[in-house]
Amino acid sequence: MLQDYQTALVTGASSGIGAATVTKLCERGLEVHAVARRSERLATLAESTGCRVHTLDVRDTDAVYATFGDLKIDVLVNNAGLGRGFDTLAQASREDIERTIDTNVTALLHITRAVLPGMLERRRGHIVQLSSIAALYPLLSALYGASKGAIHLLSQNLRMELQGSRVRHTEICPGRVKTEFFATAIDDSERQQSMLEGFELLEGGDVADAILYALDTPWRVNISTIEMTPTEQAPGGIVIEPTS
């Protein structure tokens, strides 16, 4: 339960799901380390919540280990992520591929690796990975889906590695959320807007509430996977493209 934890580390904390999670964890009395690239956003968050801020790019592996390797972190929320090359793999640039995989997969692995040994030594901790329904269902974004699919299998396999350690692990798989994700994933402004319309999207606070639910269950309970979507979004099904 949250009362068993003292410290938390949240990546991608400057907006959306990350900022909402930092706020809720601070309200519950944890010392929260908030990580993001935008220092001004972090300063505002620190002023409103009292969190401790770290301005860095999670892809900077040296900075990750130097900053977090010695911290005693009880709760890790790996929220940082993006979706460059979101349209199709054929249209993605080499930079899109590298940036998406480096952020969504490689950085997440290193941050987890940086804090996990301490959790194992103390026999206390909870890791939360922000995944996506793109990890569970075919969607029209091969690159982004591949990055989140990697997190899904990592989550399942890491749960097996953690058996007997008293460290819990949760994967959160949201559908469409009203955040800045599409502003960075899609270059076309009209298409960006279209992704935010048509039905009522999840909000960052909704996902943060799911994270806190998983963290706040009794120790005997591990919430392994949470799939959550807007009420009017139903993933799955078959899409048949007409041939010419």
**Average pLDDT of the chain to the nearest whole number:** 93
**Which has the minimum average pLDDT: 7-21, 83-97, 156-170, 217-231?**
83-97
The band of 179, judged by pLDDT with boundaries at 50, 70 and 90, is confident
Residue 213 has pLDDT above 70, yes or no: yes
pLDDT tens-digit map of 98-156: 999 999 999 999 999 999 999 999 999 999 999 999 999 998 889 999 999 999 999 99
C-alpha triplet 63, 69, 73: angle, nearest 5°: 120
Q: Is the model's pLDDT at 187 over the cut of 90? A: no
Domains of the chain: 2-228 (3.40.50.720)
- Position 244 scores a pLDDT of 63
Sequence letter at residue 27? E
Is 1 a residue whose pLDDT tops 70?
A: yes
| Catalytic choice (5, 137, 144, 213) | 144
| pLDDT of 88 above 90 | no
Please say if the pLDDT value at position 164 is more than 90: yes
The per-residue pLDDT for 18 is 97
CB atoms within 10 A of CB 111: 24
Res. 37: pLDDT tops 90: yes
Per-residue pLDDT tens over the stretch 46-72: 999 999 999 999 999 999 999 999 999
**Amino acid at the residue 235:** P
For the cut 70, the answer to whether the pLDDT of residue 198 exceeds it is yes
Query: CA 148 to CA 165: how far, in whole Å?
Result: 25
CA–CA distances in Å: residue 118 to residues 32, 147, 158: 17, 26, 16
- Quote the percentage of the chain above a pLDDT of 70: 96
Active site residue 65: no
Q: pTM for this structure?
A: 0.92
Q: Where are the alpha helices (DSSP H) in the chain?
A: 16-27, 39-49, 61-68, 94-101, 107-122, 142-161, 181-185, 189-194, 204-215
For residue 44, give the nearest of 30, 34, 31 by alpha carbon.
34
